[in-house]
Homo-oligomer: A and B are copies of this chain.
Amino acid sequence: MSKGITSKSEDYSQWYNELVTKADLAEHSAVRGCMVIKPYGYSIWEKMQAALDKMFKDTGHTNAYFPLFIPKSFFSKEASHVEGFATECAVVTHYRLKNDGNGNIIVDEEAKLEEELIVRPTSETIIWNTYRGWIQSYRDLPILVNQWANVVRWEMRTRLFLRTAEFLWQEGHTAHATSQEAIEEAEKMLEVYADFAENWLAVPVVKGVKTPNERFAGAVETYCIEALMQDGKALQAGTSHFLGQNFAKAFDVKFTSKEGKLDYVWATSWGVSTRLMGALIMAHSDDSGLVLPPKLAPIQVVIVPIYKGEEELGKITEVADSLVAQLKQKGISVKYDDRETQRPGFKFAEYELKGVPVRVAIGGRDLENGTAELARRDTKSKETVNREGLAERIEGLLVEIQDNIYQKALRFREEKTTEVNSYEEFKKVLDEKGGFVSAHWDGTPETEQRIKEETKATIRCIPLNNKAEDGVCIVTGQPSPQRVLFARAY
């Protein structure tokens, strides 16, 4: 079985698809638009979950679980929300199958639901309907709850991890006594996401707010983190919404304040999904396969013996076992691959494909010399090193690799972020260079829409702490107080 993949310069999209399937991350299932996340891919997702979950708990949140199904009537209660999701809802209409008498299994028409149930595309409605029972007074606030769940959005064009009908995610839903507290929460969670993206995924992100056009359906303000992929396209990696009192009003959730006043509750919601797997893959990988940041790599170090005959293998195994023990002692996940059915070259290619950050090869000469070959996945460099202190060296190397992957992605993004001052230049940069394009915009949805139609670029965000700079819109020439960030996006 050849594990070779298409070169990304040749066909980026094909490269991505092959990488995802050949590295055993995920595959298409028999159900349209739904994926199977394979064990290797899932183990990376588990590491993401664990890191995020800890960050949520460290910021005072707890997990809970709400129903998969949402009554159709709930959906209609928040007008812009239903408009945003209605066209992509999986709808449950019956609750029983039966045998038609000819051995065929058919839907039992007698078991039709009185009210259809929507498979949740997001849970604001069912959760705010629940919160009504949990909140009476300011003493019941804030509620800081997160849910890990599957959701379904019936996408017509799907891609593994990036856009699938069913995906896994977390959705935080918080309730607050004041607008200010809710805004602070939304901003705090954006910081958590940015921290996670940069320090775990090793993906630099721009923090910003969405334009009204790109806001979450039902939000007053949508904060986002935007990342740049190696093909120069942007990817929205996480969003955090300040929902105002929209859902509290739709579901009649009021509280008595300290002063005895009755008011609607303020809300946020925030989420990241298995889409982050797509970001991780596209931000760092190369033509040999995945490049995983050590903090998320299921196997951080692989040791491969290179030997002639059982006796030599025995001696190498002794050395390897000791290194394995030392690395485990340090909390490093390590695999010793002494399979006799595969040659070293095959193994090297396999672990490159799977993105294992560090490879140690030990051969007959190394036994004599007290050395080993140490190779790093990110730079593909290798060197012969002394085995003395090797575990410590590897420990440091993992930190170095994590940082190097991030720095490389950061340099790439900086190089691919261009300020332009005319629509001409804007289009030229998009077509020839790609990446983020920073330009003045007149602030109207009409201009935003026109640019999108003419160039396929959208406003990814208005960066937080954006520099005030007087200028004129590249399209209309109208005055503009700041630049915004455009890109073609996933």
Contact = CB atoms under 8 A, between A and B. Distances in A.
A88 interface: yes
Interface in A85-120: 86-99, 104-105, 107, 116-119
A97 B70 CA distance: 13
A31 B126 contact: yes
A116 B106 CA distance: 9
Contact of A95 (B64, B88, B139, B341): B88
A89 B99 contact: no
A154 B95 contact: yes
A389 interface: no
A213 interface: no
A34 B88 CA distance: 23
A92 B166 CA distance: 13
B90 A95 contact: yes
A104 B87 contact: no
A107 B86 contact: no
Task: Name which of A36, A70, A95 has the most chain B CB atoms within 10 A of its CB.
Answer: A95
A75 interface: yes
Copies held by the complex? 2
Contact of A69 (B34, B36, B116): B34
Contact of A64 (B37, B67, B105, B152): B37
A168 B93 contact: no
Given A95-B90, A96-B88, A97-B89, A65 B168 contact: yes
A260 interface: no
Nearest to A38: B64
B133 A27 contact: yes
A307 interface: no
A35 B154 CA distance: 25
A74 B88 CA distance: 24
Nearest to A29: B67
Nearest to A37: B65
Contact of A145 (B34, B39, B76, B129): B39
A66 B94 CA distance: 23
A31 B69 contact: yes
Given A31-B126, A91-B95, A98-B86, A42 B69 contact: no
6 contacts: A27-B133, A31-B117, A82-B97, A89-B96, A90-B92, A92-B119
Interface of A: 27, 29-31, 34-39, 42-43, 45-46, 62-72, 74-76, 82, 86-99, 104-105, 107, 116-119, 126, 129-130, 133, 139, 145, 149-150, 152, 154, 166, 168, 341
